[in-house]
Amino acid sequence: MAENTDFKQEKRKQERDRRQQEQEEAIKREERRRRRVRNQILAYVGTALSILIIIGVAVGAAALIGSHFKNRGQEENSFTGDLESMLGEEETLVKPEETAPAVELTPQQRLDDIIDAAIEVMPLEDKVAGLFIVTPESITGVNTAIKAGDGTKDALNAYAVGGLIYFKQNMQSADQLTEMLSNTSLYSRYPLFLAVDEEGGNVSRVAEAGLGENAGSAQEIGATGDAANAYAAGQNIAGYLKPLGFNVDLAPVADLNNVENSFIGERSYGADSALAASMVASMTAGLEENGVSACLKHFPGIGGSVEDTHVEMAVTNRTAEQFRAEEFPVFAAGIEAGADFVMVSHVSAPALTGDNTPCSISSVVVSDILREELGFDGVIITDAMNMGAITEYYQADEAAIMALKAGCDMILMPDDFELAYNGVLQAVQDGTISEERINDSLRRIYRIKYADKLPDVVEGE
């Protein structure tokens, strides 16, 4: 009897072992399947790598990739290609083995897989350049850029910057501006941020050039007390920026005008935190919902300073408690409304940082407060790095490295782009900044850049 019991136990043990072995084999098969999917994505986006022939679809894959590169000059750029098509191929090229359970990726997981694969094949030089938004003049060497020709093409081949910012002097007519921005996008190997300062009121580059209707200053809109007017301003601005080719507006201003002779002046919605929060959220929505990325500025708030960071060090004496009670809720409202960017100011806020370090290069402000405390997971960009508050104390390369180490994702308008670029590149090469740190910023950047390419993926979550 005991022998019979031992025999049954042994049989049950063998059966458990067999099932466990089958489960392990199924897991291994699924891992192999996911690796094959990833290799296909790498093959599709890798413009500089050999095409991997996966499973039984070599002929179809070669035809697809050959067609993509044949039409490269006619596409917006070679990096994005037809991403929706790629997602479709991911589903059809490889079917799960019948014995292995199918693993359904969420749209966000599929998008992240594509982004990771794209970043993996980028040369380090392009990764670093992709962290900068600069003027077209800074990479082409011309005095005033009013068209995009061979000089722009050569410049973008040499420096694959993440974006370009334009000012009134670059704008002569709607046709001229549209053609320049369109050609610039075509000449880039990667998708570009095409940015402008269009707040309304005195800071309205496109409206000042006569190519759009000025939406009015934040002060004027705030005085109405109706947040619907702020939404209408954002909608109006996006309505003329997007057809011209812009996809980023460095607005709205989320600063409070809360001290006498505040530097921010009419660019602010006022001193009342609750009112400003509703206005900022509404204008952000007006921009984002109409196809233009909004950028909240200037974190953590420069309204409490009377100095101008464009020309000198500026200090705010606001306490940490005041910031958290008044300024931060305004930025939080804009973040909640969907702002893709937050710009960090060069103002010094000793109550937050403990010294006069500009906030744009302070890890306390950028990483501890904005990223962690406020939970912002979009792109953090510096204010223009050619301002006196930076250039009087730091070299262009030093400031760029410090900003990235603090947690910023993008550097805006360094005083000397080549010096800043080469400095960051060297910092990554020698380990001062890890390549994975650069990749983290690129992931956040490309989630925005791909959003308009794959609305069903990004907005479907």
Residues facing residue 299 across a β-bridge: 344
Instruction: Give the integer Cα–Cα distance in Å for 342 and 367.
Output: 12
End-to-end CA distance of the chain: 60
CA atoms within 13 A on the CB side of 328: 19
Is the Cα torsion angle 138, 143, 144, 145 positive or negative in sign? Answer: negative
Instruction: Give the integer Cα–Cα distance in Å for 179 and 190.
Output: 18
- Distances, alpha carbon 43 to alpha carbons 36, 117, 334, in Å: 10, 9, 39
Q: Considering only CA atoms, which of 144, 121, 106 is closest in space to residue 190?
A: 121
Cis amide prior to 252 (ω within 30 degrees)? yes
* Catalytic position from the list 226, 272, 308, 310: 310
Is 383 annotated as catalytic?
Answer: yes
Residues 6+ apart with CB under 8 A from 127: 119, 428, 435, 438, 439, 442
Which helix (H) or strand (E) is 298 found in, with range?
A: strand 293-299
Instruction: Give the integer Cα–Cα distance in Å for 179 and 244.
Output: 8
The number of beta carbons lying within 10 Å of the beta carbon of residue 444 is: 18
Do 111 and 118 touch, CB atoms closer than 8 A?
Answer: no
* Catalytic position from the list 197, 383, 409, 415: 383
Both tokens of residue 264? 């921010």
Residues facing residue 315 across a β-bridge: 348
Cis amide prior to 310 (ω within 30 degrees)? no
CA atoms within 13 A on the CB side of 386: 12
Instruction: Give the integer Cα–Cα distance in Å for 152 and 165.
Output: 14
Is 6 annotated as catalytic?
Answer: no
SS3 of residue 90 by DSSP: helix
Specify the pairing of strand 198-200 against strand 203-204.
antiparallel
Q: What residues are labeled active site?
A: 310, 383
